[in-house]
Chain A
Amino acid sequence: MSEIKTTTVEVRLPSRMGFEKVAMSTASAVAKLMGFPEERVEDLKTAVAEACINAIEHGNRLNEKLSVGVVLSASVDSLEVKVIDDGKGMSKKQAKPDIDRKMHGEEDPRGMGMFLIQALVDEAEWVAGSEGRASYVRLVIRLDKDA
Chain B
Amino acid sequence: MQSETKSRVDQLTSPAGHAVTVLRFEGDIASTSKEAVLGAYQALPKGTIKQVLLDFTKVDYINSSGIALVIQLLMEAANAGQKVYAFGLSAHFTKVFTMVGITKYAGLFPGQTEALAAL
Contacts and interface: CB of A to CB of B under 8 A. Distances in A.
Interface of A: 16-22, 39, 42-43, 46, 49-50, 53, 97-100, 102-103, 105, 108-113, 115-116, 119
Given A50-B64, A53-B63, A109 B1 contact: no
B92 A43 contact: yes
Nearest to A22: B1
Contact of B68 (A42, A110, A115): A110
Contact of B67 (A20, A98, A105, A112): A112
A18 B4 CA distance: 11
A32 B68 CA distance: 30
Contacts of A21: 1-2, 61
Nearest to A112: B64
A116 B105 contact: no
A103 B74 contact: yes
Contacts of B31: 17
B22 to A, nearest CB: 22
Contacts of B100: 97, 99, 112, 115-116
B63 A97 contact: no
Given A99-B100, A99-B101, A18 B74 contact: no
B104 A17 contact: no
10 contacts: A17-B1, A18-B1, A18-B2, A42-B90, A43-B92, A50-B64, A53-B63, A103-B71, A111-B68, A113-B64
CB-CB nearest 6 A-B residue pairs: A18-B1, A99-B101, A42-B92, A109-B68, A18-B2, A110-B68
A46 B74 contact: no
A97 B99 CA distance: 10
A13 to B, nearest CB: 10
Contacts of B78: 103
Contact of B71 (A17, A109, A113): A109
A108 B91 CA distance: 26
